[in-house]
């Protein structure tokens, strides 16, 4: 059962061995990690949100593809996953957390204090202060405060009338609101070409087809969809695939002004020297994440000036007994160097590792996390390691894919591509055939594979993980790609 | 008594709670720090050097100014300090360290294993390997491996005959050798305008005056002596003061070739477009320090890509139970940010802090260390915080100094100088009078004082330390300088 602030207040001064700041994925799995190693001590999660911890991925994917029912602001957050299994975004319901009494008695349970913000962290004295003034003492503390959607000055300065029709998207609340909005509007603009902007574009276009024909325009400052992660040719192809799903994509375009006119938000879109006006009912801004580091900064913890976030070591520890995990942590990966990752599985893996270390393990980060995205039927990929389009890449593609099934013999992989900076032109001949149905992209530092994207090739991440962990140098990428059986299981479109 | 490798070997497998890698100043004071907090456990220092831990500052200062006696390769390392007190560079003699038997019995003593290099550190299994293959298990380990004099490609590629007459200077052995050499040579070139090059120039010029008239030429690639730390005008003035001590200083000059001819080392010195030849009996290279990070790198510890050294947090911890201190540590200063310091008192302060934390404290670095240098009778300064001539500086000088005693009324400080980038021209009027006898230089980030040099003003570092710790913004630097009583104790030249 959910704790109330009043209940916790009643037990001043509260002392809990393990305190976890944040109520997201990293926070939840940190509790799991602590419990793996310490069966006895109580754990307290303190979350600013009103929901119990949940996974965000379905908020821009599955939840939008459910059969369309009557709108309800409290609709369940369950959906069928890719294997048809019934899932819920929420990890466990509030009833499954323990009560204030349990905590006070020192029961080995996990308490959840929601709607509560930690406003102060005193590292030296191992205590923190809640927004109601309540002090909580701890032995070990995890900062898993994640991040919030970045805004832009132009958004902040937009007329109030326009701002009412602008959404920054991250939470279940945001999903519920946008679900409602999507049922009434005719046109939506989505600013941003990253994961969120692209996934929501596809989701809203699908909703439009199913319901009210919303016109979706995605405005991207880069050359296309996911330009920061995919090599150029693949970004171009993916952009086309997104367009085929009914999204109008404006590439190399930025917003230079926002106004409100005739009941519409009017965006001034600049492409090269050309300006055009885009009038829409609603705008979604998905221009990246700002890690929530204010608390850490106030506590004099070190921030990473390059990658942002709280600087922790390979064990995810910032100072003795103070850890950080998930989106907010800049951590040291012994194989790949300093990183900050903003993905679900990283929140799981790093949260769990931090939890285990809080409970006395001294393990360093070694299990590489992965991530995935889906953008319509032709584009589904998984990825692991450093996925950054400024790295050199080599890709190997199945000769026969669902898109051009008869053009190439099915039993050969494409010839090895020469590595090229940012991948442009790497697969020029392939680009002509638009044949990126199935393949592997290797991201390189010198001859070392530091990242792998498996494209429409499910369940191959463990192979990629092994390659990255080995940290060997490679010359023969066809051979390496053969491990992924690029041609084995023919995808049936 | 010194431990022999054989004795230690006899006790395989050796397990010592606290192991300190290195036998320098940071290592020695780490043992002091551990002992402050843990009265019971044995401590083992493992040092590559044959000497017991010692302080290096006198190696470029006091030891050169002792009355000149017969040369002896094993002469004592004692000297009188500025207050006339008898001192020895070595902290405690080998006899004062404990025996292998003491260690094996777990006596609360400090063992010293000298002439021994640690070649492998296994963080996960908390053990290290010595160069003889012996394994030592530990609970807590400090890496205090310091650094070695940097060399230059041009030195490494010089003819073997020339290289015989080139010294890289850091240890007691190096002092003893140079002491011998200085008694026979007629001319010496010193490459480098940093602390070591400048102090040794003064020392050898003094030796020349006292003994055999050695001609000392200092070749500096920057505009003058200590250009990287002192504001431009003060660097210029200091360069002149060094010249007045008999050192020929070649500024803005670099070495482009090294040869050996007629029994001399011949340096090709380039200044602007001009080349000249400098033929000397001996060359000393003092072009900075390379931190000894090889062991840490092999152990997969994170290195600081910007400042060099092993990256540790504010508690000087790299991974749980693994610490670094002294010259080799890049640490987080909660007030001033990430730093690596290469000075004696920092080795003392950080070594002691690491030791205390190894024994269970969780204190962050907060006591600012200081450093000092002396370059002849007119230049003696102490410094604390960030001392970097690329920072903005403001200086306040006593109107009346030993150099221009009657030019200005003695009871006023100079008008506050406007802050300027790198200090050039800041004290233009002063520069004309060459009146830098006594004063304070504030190094600024914005309006925050991040560093202070007290110039010929002894015992004022605690005041500067307080100003830095407060981290306040300042506008009135005359007022701030008044705290240092710049005009109070008139220096008698
Ligand atoms: C719509 C959407 C879809 C996504 N889809 C995918 C996907 O398909 N695949 C993928 O790999 N990743 C995906 N991600 C990214 C993934 O969800 C994040 O990486 C993950 O949520 C990070 O978890 P976290 O626990 O570090 O941070 P968060 O999930 O941001 O959780 C942080 C929590 O801390 C709380 N908090 C912050 N400050 C305080 C404070 N001072 N006191 C108390 N509480 C505080 C916040 O309110 C929040 O509840 C998606 C993200 C979004 C928004
Ligand atoms: C000539 C000279 C004069 C100086 N004067 C001043 C001064 O006036 N004021 C000032 O503030 N600073 C001065 N310094 C700087 C100051 O001496 C250094 O900052 C200080 O010595 C750093 O101490 P440390 O213990 O970190 O490193 P070090 O003194 O370098 O000690 C490191 C030790 O570790 C050993 N070691 C390295 N690797 C291994 C290994 N793998 N296994 C075993 N042992 C290993 C080394 O042999 C060495 O003994 C001077 C330096 C020199 C060279
Ligand atoms: N499948 C997934 O892993 C997934 C899915 C959804 C969301 N997320 C996460 O959610 C968070 C938010 O997603 P996101 O797409 O906003 O972030 P993102 O970092 O993936 O993409 C940011 C995008 O913002 C755009 N942008 C940046 N600055 C801009 C500016 N000044 N003007 C215009 N456009 C600008 C760029 O197009 C850039 O690609 C991220 O942490 C992301 O990783 C992940
Ligand atoms: N008083 C003191 O604190 C003191 C005294 C002596 C030594 N030390 C320490 O001993 C170490 C060695 O002293 P140092 O003077 O060599 O180092 P330093 O960092 O003080 O000075 C390095 C100098 O090397 C020169 N240099 C660098 N690269 C060069 C190149 N490619 N060609 C020519 N010149 C080049 C520059 O003149 C530069 O000022 C340092 O860690 C120093 O801090 C400190």
**B296 Cα to the center of ligand 2, angstroms:** 17
- pLDDT(B69) > 90: no
- pLDDT(B175) > 70: yes
- pLDDT(B5) > 80: no
Q: Region B357-365: what's the mean pLDDT?
A: 97
Q: How confident is the model at residue A429 (pLDDT cuts 50, 70, 90)?
A: very low
Q: How far is A303 from chain B (nearest CA, A)?
A: 10
Q: How far is B36 from chain A (nearest CA, A)?
A: 20
Q: How confident is the model at residue B83 (pLDDT cuts 50, 70, 90)?
A: confident
Q: Region A62-83: what's the mean pLDDT?
A: 86
Which of A13-27, A363-377, A451-465, B391-405 has the lowest average pLDDT?
B391-405
- pLDDT(B414) > 50: no
Containing B452, the helix (H) or strand (E) segment is strand B448-455
- pLDDT(A434) > 90: no
pLDDT tens track for B92-146:
999 999 987 888 888 899 999 999 999 999 999 999 999 999 999 999 999 999 9
**A289 forms bridges with which residues in the sheet?**
A149
What is the per-residue pLDDT for A177? 96
- pLDDT(B171) > 50: yes
What is the per-residue pLDDT for A45? 96
Q: How far is B319 from chain A (nearest CA, A)?
A: 7
pLDDT tens track for A102-134:
888 888 999 999 999 999 999 999 999 999 999
**B429 Cα to the center of ligand 4, angstroms:** 30
Residues of chain B found within 8 Å of residue A338, distances taken between Cβ atoms: 302
Q: Region B360-375: what's the mean pLDDT?
A: 96
HSE, side-chain direction, 13 A CA sphere, residue B391: 22
Distance of CA A455 to the CA centre of its chain: 18
| pLDDT > 90: percent of chain B | 80
Q: Which atom of ligand 1 is nearest to the CA of A46?
A: 43
| Cα(A430)–Cα(A427) distance, integer angstroms | 5
Pocket of ligand 3 (CB under 6 A): A 60, 152, 191-197, 199, 220-222, 228, 254, 286-289, 342-343, 371, 373
What is the per-residue pLDDT for A492? 42
Please tell me the total number of residues recorded for chain B in this structure. Answer: 493
What is the per-residue pLDDT for A431? 40
3-state secondary structure of A327: helix
Q: How confident is the model at residue B71 (pLDDT cuts 50, 70, 90)?
A: confident
Residues of chain B found within 8 Å of residue A353, distances taken between Cβ atoms: none
**A23 Cα to the center of ligand 1, angstroms:** 9
Q: List the single best residue of B138, B319, B360 to mutate versus A (max A Cβ within 10 A).
A: B319
Whose CA is closest to B317, among A323, A320, A363, A324?
A320
* B159: CB partners within 8 A, 6+ apart: B258, B259, B260
Q: Region A4-15: what's the mean pLDDT?
A: 64
- Beta strands in B215-311, from DSSP E residues, in sequence order: 215-219, 247-250, 253-261, 264-271, 274-280, 282-285, 289-291, 310-311
Residues of chain B found within 8 Å of residue A357, distances taken between Cβ atoms: 320
Angle between helices B195-210 and B232-244 (to 10 degrees): 20
Better pLDDT: B323 or B6: B323
Angle between helices B25-37 and B344-358 (to 10 degrees): 30
Quick check: A320 and B315 CB within 8 A? Answer: yes
What is the per-residue pLDDT for B3? 65
Q: Region B310-316: what's the mean pLDDT?
A: 98
For residue B10, how many other CB atoms are within 10 A of its CB? 12
DSSP track, A340-378? ---SHHHHHHHHHHHHHHHTT--PPS-S--EEEEE-STT
What DSSP character marks residue B293? -
Distance of CA B279 to the CA centre of its chain: 29
| Cα(A218)–Cα(A416) distance, integer angstroms | 34
Structure token digits, residue A158: 């937009």
**B121 Cα to the center of ligand 4, angstroms:** 29
CB pairs under 8 A between A and B: 51
Quick check: A362 and B319 CB within 8 A? Answer: yes
Q: List the single best residue of A124, A335, A354, A362 to mutate versus B (max B Cβ within 10 A).
A: A362
| Cα(A452)–Cα(A465) distance, integer angstroms | 8
Quick check: B300 and A124 CB within 8 A? Answer: no
Q: Is the CB of residue A433 below 6 angstroms from any atom belonging to ligand 1?
A: no
- Tokens 């005719």 belong to A186
Q: Which atom of ligand 3 is nearest to the CA of A285?
A: 16
pLDDT tens track for B348-359:
999 999 999 999
Quick check: A300 and B334 CB within 8 A? Answer: yes
Residues of A with CB under 8 A from a CB of B: 123-124, 300, 302, 311, 313-315, 317-321, 332, 334, 338, 357, 362, 364
- Tokens 């405060």 belong to A145
* B41: CB partners within 8 A, 6+ apart: B17, B18, B34, B106, B108, B359
3-state secondary structure of A20: strand
Q: Is the CB of residue B421 below 6 angstroms from any atom belonging to ligand 4?
A: no
Please tell me the total number of residues recorded for chain A in this structure. Answer: 493
Quick check: B302 and A338 CB within 8 A? Answer: yes
Structure token digits, residue A204: 């809203």
Quick check: B320 and A317 CB within 8 A? Answer: yes
Protein residue whose Cα sits closest to atom 53 of ligand 2: B170
Q: How far is B329 from chain A (nearest CA, A)?
A: 14
Whose CA is closest to A241, among A24, B390, A233?
A233
Q: Is the CB of residue A356 below 6 angstroms from any atom belonging to ligand 1?
A: no
**CB nearest to B302's CB, from A123, A321, A332:** A332
**A343 Cα to the center of ligand 3, angstroms:** 11
What is the per-residue pLDDT for B435? 63
HSE, side-chain direction, 13 A CA sphere, residue B287: 19
Q: Which atom of ligand 1 is nearest to the CA of A59?
A: 1
* A191: CB partners within 8 A, 6+ apart: A197, A219, A255, A283, A284, A285, A286, A287
Quick check: A334 and B300 CB within 8 A? Answer: yes
Answer whether A324's CB lies under 8 Å from A374's CB: no
Quick check: B315 and A319 CB within 8 A? Answer: yes
- pLDDT(B426) > 50: no
Residue A193 burial (CB < 10 Å; 0-12/13-18/19+)? buried
Using the Cα atoms of residue B300, residue B301, residue B306 and residue B307 in order, give the sign of their dihedral: negative
Residues of chain A found within 8 Å of residue B123, distances taken between Cβ atoms: 364
Q: How far is A334 from chain B (nearest CA, A)?
A: 6
Answer whether B191's CB lies under 8 Å from B284's CB: yes
Q: Which atom of ligand 3 is nearest to the CA of A60?
A: 6
Quick check: B334 and A364 CB within 8 A? Answer: no
Q: List the single best residue of B297, B301, B313, B324 to mutate versus A (max A Cβ within 10 A).
A: B313
Distances in Å between the Cα of B161 and the Cα atoms of A91, B179, B192 are 74, 21, 22
Distances in Å between the Cα of B75 and the Cα atoms of A315, A353, B70, B177, B202 are 49, 56, 9, 11, 22
What is the per-residue pLDDT for B425? 32
- Tokens 């110039």 belong to B455
Residues of chain A found within 8 Å of residue B314, distances taken between Cβ atoms: 300, 302, 319
**CB nearest to A313's CB, from B319, B334, B364:** B319
Whose CA is closest to A439, among A228, A233, A246, A202?
A233
Distances in Å between the Cα of B211 and the Cα atoms of B188, B198, B307, B375 are 14, 20, 41, 19
DSSP track, A41-81? S-EEEE-SSSSPPB--GGGGTGGGSSPP----TT---EEE-
Residue to substitute in A287, A341, A384 for testing ligand 3 pocket (most ligand atoms within 8 angstroms of CB): A287
Residue A263 gets the label, from left (phi > 0), alpha (psi -120 to 50) or beta, of left
Distance of CA B89 to the CA centre of its chain: 14
Distance of CA A220 to the CA centre of its chain: 18
Q: Which atom of ligand 2 is nearest to the CA of B294?
A: 41
Q: How confident is the model at residue A428 (pLDDT cuts 50, 70, 90)?
A: very low
For B318, name the nearest residue in chain A, comparing CA atoms only.
A313
What is the per-residue pLDDT for B13? 63
* A160: CB partners within 8 A, 6+ apart: none
What is the per-residue pLDDT for B432? 39
- Across B222-241, b (16+ Cβ under 10 Å) vs e yields bebbbbebbbbbbbbbbbeb
Edge-to-edge strand list for the sheet holding A215-219: A166-168, A282-285, A187-191, A215-219, A247-250
Q: Is the peptide bond before A459 cis (omega within 30 degrees of 0)?
A: no
| Cα(B202)–Cα(B243) distance, integer angstroms | 9
Q: Region B159-175: what's the mean pLDDT?
A: 97
Which of A331-340, B285-294, B372-381 has the lowest average pLDDT?
B372-381
Q: Region B44-49: what's the mean pLDDT?
A: 96
Using the Cα atoms of residue A13, residue A15, residue A21 and residue A22 in order, give the sign of their dihedral: negative
Answer whether A226's CB lies under 8 Å from A235's CB: yes
What is the per-residue pLDDT for A422? 35
**B164 Cα to the center of ligand 2, angstroms:** 24
Containing B21, the helix (H) or strand (E) segment is strand B14-21
ipTM of the shown complex: 0.90
Pocket of ligand 2 (CB under 6 A): B 21-27, 46-49, 56-57, 59-60, 117-118, 144-147, 170, 196, 292, 295, 326-328, 342-345, 347, 371-373
| pLDDT > 70: percent of chain B | 89
| Cα(A358)–Cα(A310) distance, integer angstroms | 17
For residue B99, how many other CB atoms are within 10 A of its CB? 16
For residue A260, how many other CB atoms are within 10 A of its CB? 17
Angle between helices A195-210 and A232-244 (to 10 degrees): 20
- pLDDT(B335) > 80: yes
| Cα(A56)–Cα(A154) distance, integer angstroms | 27
Q: Is the CB of residue A54 below 6 angstroms from any atom belonging to ligand 1?
A: no
**B56 Cα to the center of ligand 2, angstroms:** 7
Better pLDDT: B68 or B271: B271
pLDDT tens track for A231-276:
999 999 999 999 999 999 999 999 999 999 999 999 999 999 999 9
Protein residue whose Cα sits closest to atom 3 of ligand 4: B343
- pLDDT(A407) > 50: no
Q: How confident is the model at residue A484 (pLDDT cuts 50, 70, 90)?
A: very high
For B357, name the nearest residue in chain A, comparing CA atoms only.
A320
Whose CA is closest to B116, among B27, B45, B208?
B45
Distances in Å between the Cα of B216 and the Cα atoms of B155, B209, B278 are 19, 11, 11
Mean model confidence pLDDT for chain A = 90
- pLDDT(B405) > 50: no
3-state secondary structure of B19: strand
Give this prediction's pTM: 0.91
Q: How confident is the model at residue B417 (pLDDT cuts 50, 70, 90)?
A: very low
């Amino acid at each position: 059962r959910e704790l109330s602030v009043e209940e916790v207040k009643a037990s001043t001064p509260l002392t809990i061995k393990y305190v976890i700041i944040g109520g997201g994925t990293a926070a939840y799995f940190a509790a799991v990690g602590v419990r793996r190693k310490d069966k006895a001590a109580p754990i307290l999660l303190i979350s600013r949100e009103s929901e119990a911890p949940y996974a965000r991925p379905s908020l821009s994917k599955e939840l939008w593809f459910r059969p369309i029912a009557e709108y309800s602001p409290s609709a369940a957050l369950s959906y069928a996953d890719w294997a048809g299994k019934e899932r819920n975004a929420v990890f466990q319901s509030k009833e499954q957390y323990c009560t204030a009494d349990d905590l006070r008695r020192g029961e080995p349970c996990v308490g959840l204090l929601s709607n509560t913000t930690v406003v102060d962290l005193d590292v030296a004295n191992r205590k923190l202060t809640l927004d109601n003034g309540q002090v909580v003492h701890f032995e070990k503390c995890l900062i898993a405060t994640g991040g919030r959607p970045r805004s832009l000055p132009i958004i902040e300065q937009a007329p109030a009338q326009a701002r009412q029709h602008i959404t920054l998207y991250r939470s279940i609340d945001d999903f519920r609101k946008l679900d409602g909005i999507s049922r009434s509007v005719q046109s939506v603009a989505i600013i941003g070409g990253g994961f969120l902007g692209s996934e929501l574009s596809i989701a809203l276009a699908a909703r439009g087809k199913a319901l009210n024909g919303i016109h979706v325009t995605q405005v991207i400052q880069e050359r296309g969809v996911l330009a920061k992660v995919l090599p150029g040719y693949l970004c171009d192809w993916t952009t086309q695939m997104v367009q085929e799903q009914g999204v109008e994509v404006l590439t190399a375009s930025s917003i230079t002004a926002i106004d409100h006119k005739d009941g519409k938000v009017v965006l001034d879109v600049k492409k090269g020297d050309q300006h055009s006006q885009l009038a829409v009912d609603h705008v979604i801004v998905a221009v990246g994440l700002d890690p929530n580091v204010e608390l850490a900064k106030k506590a004099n913890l070190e921030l990473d000036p390059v990658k942002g976030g709280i600087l922790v070591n390979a064990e995810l520890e910032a100072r003795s007994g103070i850890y950080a995990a998930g989106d907010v942590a800049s951590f040291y990966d012994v194989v790949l160097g300093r990183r900050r990752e903003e993905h679900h599985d990283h929140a799981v893996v790093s949260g769990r590792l931090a939890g285990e270390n809080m409970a006395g393990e001294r393990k360093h980060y070694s299990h590489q996390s992965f991530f995935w995205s889906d953008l319509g039927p032709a584009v589904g990929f998984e990825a692991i390691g450093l996925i950054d389009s400024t790295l050199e890449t080599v890709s190997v593609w199945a000769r026969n894919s669902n898109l051009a099934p008869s053009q190439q013999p099915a039993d050969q992989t494409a010839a090895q591509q020469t590595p090229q900076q940012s991948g442009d032109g790497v697969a020029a001949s392939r680009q002509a055939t638009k044949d990126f149905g199935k393949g592997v992209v290797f991201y390189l530092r010198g001859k070392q594979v530091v990242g792998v994207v498996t494209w429409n090739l499910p369940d191959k991440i463990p192979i990629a993980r092994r390659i990255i962990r080995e940290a060997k140098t490679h010359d023969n990428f066809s051979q390496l790609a053969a491990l992924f059986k690029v041609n084995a299981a023919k995808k049936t479109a």
